[in-house]
Structure 1
Amino acid sequence: MLIEFNPQLRHALYEYDDAPKQPALEGVEDEMLGLTRLKFPKLGMPLKYEWEGAGYELQLHIGASGRDDIVLDDVGLSDFQFQCNEGGSVITTFKAMTRPTAQQQGRIDHMLQLETELSLKPPSAKQRELAA
């Protein structure tokens, strides 16, 4: 996830772990680049990252079929924070601003305080050109 914001973030925050690790699976790319040990474990978390985006599509996944998913368009993103953990995992939090319909808002309100999987799709190239 960090590489999506800056290719050097993982290298700045993590280092190679000298302890024996599981052997790599053939055909599976190491997303963490082998960098799994925190360089600065006493650094205060979460880290704030100043970045904003506009025109995203946010999809809240409900159920296995995707039939009941909530899809929100023209979503603005801001206030990113990274909780970097030993082992290389990163919990990312952010604000998403949008204008859901009344029906979508009711379904979203019903899901408050539930853990929900979501997907983000970046704006199309045409949308980025119009915004520039």
Structure 2
Amino acid sequence: IRGHALKNAIFGAQFESVTGTIRFDGNGDRLAPYDLWNMRVGANASQLVKIGQYDGATGSISFAEAPVFADGTSAAPADRPAPCPAGTQFVRATLESAERCEPCGAGEEGDGSACTACHPGRFKEATGIGFCRVCP
């Protein structure tokens, strides 16, 4: 048996079963429908609510109702923090502190994501200044 030919035959198979049409993608994953569930937290109890379905065969998502996020609204939260201003760097959250923007030190400049040393011939004398200046 040639493994590659067998794999292609299996991945290309399509048939009906008790759970619906069985099809596979190029990785061998089943292209099946998946229910979308939302955890709703109440004052006395929490419950799972089916809010929609993902169709693996078509890649489409349909919602019966909007998801409710941790803040209790249907407004989707930001998927990343707001950018830090120039002259600072982003510091990830730890168990001891929240994520934050931290000023770059003297001799460093930052683009809002990370601080780097000033290039030769440039300086920054104090924290809080956004960029390095040309030496006089």
Same fold, judged at TM 0.5 (above): no
TM-score calculated relative to the size of structure 1: 0.18
Q: Which has the higher contact order (CA 8 A, sep 6+)?
A: 1
Instruction: Look at both structures and tell me which one has the larger radius of gyration over its CA atoms.
Output: 2
TM-score calculated relative to the size of structure 2: 0.18
Normalized per residue, the structure richer in helix is 1
